Amino acid sequence: MSPSSMQIFLADDDQDDRLLFEEVLNEINISKELTMFKNAIELMDHLNQEDVVLPHIIFLDLNMPFISGAEALKEIRNNPRFRDVSVAIYSTSSLEKDIEETFINGANIYITKPNDYSTLKKIIKNVLNINWHYHTSGLNRETFFYNV
């Protein structure tokens, strides 16, 4: 892995969604390393390894078996070691309660999974180009929910 590569983690229990995300990411012209997890347990086990290279951003599905994305988000935000890791909720849910809960629990952005490839590519490209240090300093509801 190149030290200048953007480290991206994706936790999603849907294999088709993981493959689509990877395909879109491969078309985006930035230096990146993608690590994918089938569920939040795998993600948290990996993150909690002492020698792990922390990601710049985690795309986290909400609706996963065993440990939900919302529970994983709380665990991530309760660990000071992950303070600088950005978390993008990446879910089919557009329920106000899910958006509100993840905002309160410290996610950086909420993305509703789009139905088409070109929109997904545009979203991921835009999210990866956000200057997270600036973005999180003025975090508010208007900038939290990513709407295309």
User: What is the C-alpha to C-alpha distance for residues 32 and 45, in angstroms, rounded to an integer?
Assistant: 22
Residue 77 CA to chain centroid, in angstroms? 13
Please state, in angstroms and as integers, the Cα–Cα distance from residue 63 to each residue in 16, 52, 89, 107, 143, following that order: 15, 25, 10, 15, 23
Question: What is the CATH class of 6-146?
Answer: alpha beta
Residue 125 CA to chain centroid, in angstroms? 13
User: What is the C-alpha to C-alpha distance for residues 49 and 141, in angstroms, rounded to an integer?
Assistant: 33
Give the confidence band of 140 by pLDDT, cuts at 50, 70, 90.
low
CA angle 122/101/114 to nearest 5° reads 25
Task: List pLDDT tens digits, range 28-49.
Answer: 988 899 999 999 999 999 999 9
Mean pLDDT of the chain: 87
Give me the helices (H) in the chain, please.
15-27, 40-47, 69-77, 96-104, 117-128, 132-137, 141-144
pLDDT on residue 145: 53
Please state, in angstroms and as integers, the Cα–Cα distance from residue 74 to each residue in 18, 31, 88, 101, following that order: 22, 29, 13, 10
3 has pLDDT over 60: no
| Beta strands 57-60; 109-112: pairing state | unpaired
Give the confidence band of 4 by pLDDT, cuts at 50, 70, 90.
low
143 has pLDDT over 80: no
Task: List pLDDT tens digits, range 85-130.
Answer: 999 999 999 899 999 999 999 999 999 999 899 999 999 998 888 7
How buried is residue 137: exposed, middle or buried, by Cβ count under 10 Å (0-12/13-18/19+)? exposed
